[in-house]
Amino acid sequence: MKEAMSKFLCPYCSTTFGVFEELKAHAISDHKTESVPAPEGLIRLTVNREVHEIQVEPQWTLNYLIHDRLGLTSPKMFCDRGACGSCTVILDGRPILSCMTLAIECDGTTIETAEGIAKSNHPLLDSYVKHHTMQCGYCTPGFITTSKAFLDRNPNPTEEEIREALSGNLCRCGTYPQHPKAVLEAAKNLREG
Amino acid sequence: MKKFSHVNALTIDEAVSILRRYGDRASLIAGGTDLLGKMKDRILSRYPEALVNLKTIPGLDFIKEENRILEIGALTRLEDIAIDQTVRGGYAALAQAANRTASPHLREMGTIGGNICQDIRCWYYRHPNNRFPCLRKGGGRCYAIEGDNRYHSIFGGSVEEGCYAVHPSDTAPALIALDAEIRTSKRTIKAGDFFQVEVTKTTVLDEDEIVTKILVPRPPENAKSGFVKFALRKTIDFPIVNCAALISSSEGKVSAARICLNAGYVKPYRASRAEEVIVGKTFNEADAEAAGSAAVSEAKPLPHNGYMVQIAKTMVKRAILACG
């Protein structure tokens, strides 16, 4: 487990714990109590296969949590109104906009960002580089996450389906024609292993 | 965003009791794609003190068909409706409407309950920091009448509130054309009676009322439904005008029709004139166009939105032909 950013104080002996689960175990074994209630806003989520337990504020968006608190900078903040797709992350298999999701509502979810896809050596990476699917690159992580979620559901897509799936991602450099080519090739490489 | 308190409701009753406790100081959050935009822009003078999360209530995310009635839980994502084979087969207008709503990402987040309860998109109403305290916010005047009203109502404003902002939902006209019912925590409301223009409200729902599911009766075997939408971009954008139709026919002739336009009026607009014209006719360009003309015969466009009358007319025509 990744080091937690919150400190939890035992209500009986004031010992501090980095992880809430440890405090819980401590209260049960050392103080013979039932359990201590979890503090409000404490969430546990899996980001790129790492479990994070973190105390969040209700007004934090998922983008703020991932980008500014966990330091994974691939979900980009651009429009902040759910209109551009730059902040896309994969939440429980769905490509969603992290700017329009509250972090506090993501308790128990599994999230994948472009960093996680890069680590898994997904064929999308090579095909995106090969087809030069970026210019400034700011929108690229959003496209990659959307494409990955799409290929997970549809391993043998048509060009039309790819265009539809990526239609919520905006690119102001105008790299649009390259994306269907890159995704088609990645799909082919995925199928052929 | 400013700070607020956040409650995960575990049952409908709990959510209702929290709403009663907070009155109009709390908001419900499902997909959040509409609400968070409003909160980030601080468009209302009153910021919600608490958000009640409905996503933690189990059993509200389902699609099933029983006894020729399609039931959709209020928390069902639009994308799930758009790709569901049952919905696509028997209730095409609804599947197409869900499929044309916003962008793929927003469809993965937004729910059907939230889509019919969404707020208006008038750019004076939505201007950040409550710059225009308009009639719909309980203010003094409508800024769209004198201002830029290119996306406003072509069938006149609301008599009660004087507001010209259109209802932006894509699924609403499909539900009305399919004669759906909306089940709430208190009652069952016909989709056609669900929408209402009031200060900071777009529906007839009470302050402590929550949509729980949508019931759509299966159209008769000789009926077909369809949905068409005109927007500036194919995805992401809200409709300029959209239209859903459910048309029954026997021996090539229209025997019954339900046609509903949206984004052209302050509420979804039932095109009853077009329905009268098309009944008894066959599916052809000329008759469909005549029905389109009848649909907009009562249009009273504002200075900047005359073009929407032409679009509404064409949408009715295309929706009819899509059912042929």
**Mean pLDDT on A71-90:** 96
Chain segment B11-29, per-residue pLDDT in tens: 999 999 999 999 889 999 9
Q: Which of A42, A44, A57, A59 to mutate to test the interface with B (most CBs of B within 10 A)?
A: A59
**DSSP characters over A113-171:** -HHHHHHTT-HHHHHHHHTT--SS-SSHHHHHHHHHHHHHH-SS--HHHHHHHTTT---
- Asked whether A21 and A35 are in contact (CB, 8 A), the reply is no
| Cβ(A107)–Cβ(A45) below 8 Å | yes
- Residue A97 within any structural domain of the chain: no
Specify if A141 maps to a domain: yes
pLDDT tens figures, A162-177: 999 999 999 999 999 9
Judged against a pLDDT cut of 90, whether residue B94 lies above it is answered with yes
pLDDT in tens, A85-125: 999 999 999 999 999 999 999 999 999 999 999 999 999 99
Tell me what the mean pLDDT of segment B196-217 comes to. 95
A165 close to A146: Cβ distance less than 8 angstroms: yes
Question: Per-residue pLDDT tens for A3-50?
Answer: 445 678 888 888 888 888 888 888 888 888 877 777 889 999 999 999
Check A167 against B2: CB less than 8 A apart.
no
Which helix (DSSP H) or strand (DSSP E) does residue B255 occupy?
strand B253-262
ipTM over 0.85: yes
B67 C-beta neighbours (distance < 10 Å), count: 7
Q: CB distance A85–B103 less than 8 Å?
A: yes
Sign of the alpha-carbon dihedral angle for B129, B110, B32, A111: negative
Note whether residue A94 is domain-resident: no
Q: Domain tally for chain A? A: 2
Structure tokens at A184: 């088609």
Amino acid at B50: A
Round to whole Å and give the CA distance between A45 and B235: 31
pLDDT at A36: 76
Check pLDDT > 60 for residue A135: yes
The beta-carbon neighbor of A168 closest among B29, B51, B235 is: B235
For residue A47, being part of any structural domain is answered with no
Give the model's pLDDT for residue A5: 56
And the tokens for A44? Answer: 């546990």
Closest Cα in chain B to A168: B103
Kindly report the number of other CB atoms within 10 A of residue A143's CB atom.
27
| Contact list, A97 vs chain B (CB under 8 Å) | 33, 105-106, 109
Measure the N-to-C terminal CA separation of chain A; round to a whole number of Å. Answer: 31
Cα distance from B44 to chain A (closest Cα, Å)?
16
- Output the CA torsion A165→A171→A177→A180 (10° steps): -30
Mean pLDDT within A149-157 = 96
The per-residue pLDDT for B320 is 96
Residue A37's pLDDT is 76
pLDDT grade for B152, boundaries at 50, 70 and 90: very high
C-alpha to C-alpha distances, B121 to B28, B139, B263, nearest whole angstrom: 19, 17, 10
Classify B42 as helix, strand or coil. Answer: coil
User: What is d(CA B75, CA B141) in angstroms, rounded to the nearest whole number?
Assistant: 36
pLDDT in tens, B293-307: 999 999 999 999 999
Contact (CB, 8 A) for A91 and A110: yes
Q: What is the token pair recorded at B54?
A: 């409905």
Decide if pLDDT at A1 tops 60. no
A175 in any annotated domain:
yes
* Stretch B195-211: mean pLDDT: 94
pLDDT at B100 over 70: yes
Output the average pLDDT for chain A: 92
Query: Taking residues B102-109, what's their average pLDDT?
Result: 96
Sole residue written with tokens 């059907």: B112
Structure tokens given for A33: 């109590």
Decide if B238 contacts B263 (C-beta within 8 A). Answer: yes
Q: Report d(CA A109, CA A45) in Å as an integer.
A: 5
Among A14-18, B42-46, B268-272, name the most confident range: B268-272
pLDDT band at B270 (very low <50, low <70, confident <90, very high): very high
Arithmetic mean of pLDDT over chain B? 95
Residue B160 pLDDT: 85
User: Any idea which residue has 């005359």 for tokens?
Assistant: B306
* Residue A142, domain member (yes or no): yes
Q: Which residue has better confidence, A79 or B324?
A: A79
| Domain membership of residue A17 as a residue range | 1-39
CATH number at residue A135: 1.10.150.120
Spatial strand order of the sheet with A88-91 comes to A50-55, A42-47, A110-112, A88-91, A94-97
- Span B243-253, mean pLDDT? 95
pLDDT value of residue B194: 97
Flag whether pLDDT at B187 surpasses 50: yes
Q: Tell me if A9 is assigned to some domain.
A: yes
Residue B286's pLDDT band (cuts 50, 70, 90)? very high
Whether the pLDDT of residue B40 is over 90: the answer is yes
Tally of residues, chain A: 193
Determine how many CB atoms are found less than 10 A away from the CB of residue B145. Answer: 16
- Whether residue A22 lies inside any domain: the answer is yes
Give the integer Cα–Cα distance in Å for A179 and A144: 10
Q: Do A82 and B53 touch (CB under 8 A)?
A: no
Percentage helix, strand, coil, to 5, in chain B?
A: 35, 25, 45
pTM: predicted TM-score of the whole model, two decimal places: 0.94
Q: Which element (helix H / strand E) includes A81?
A: none
- DSSP single-letter state for residue B46: S
Model confidence band, residue B324 (pLDDT cutoffs 50, 70, 90)? confident
CA angle B62, B68, B69 (to 5 degrees): 45
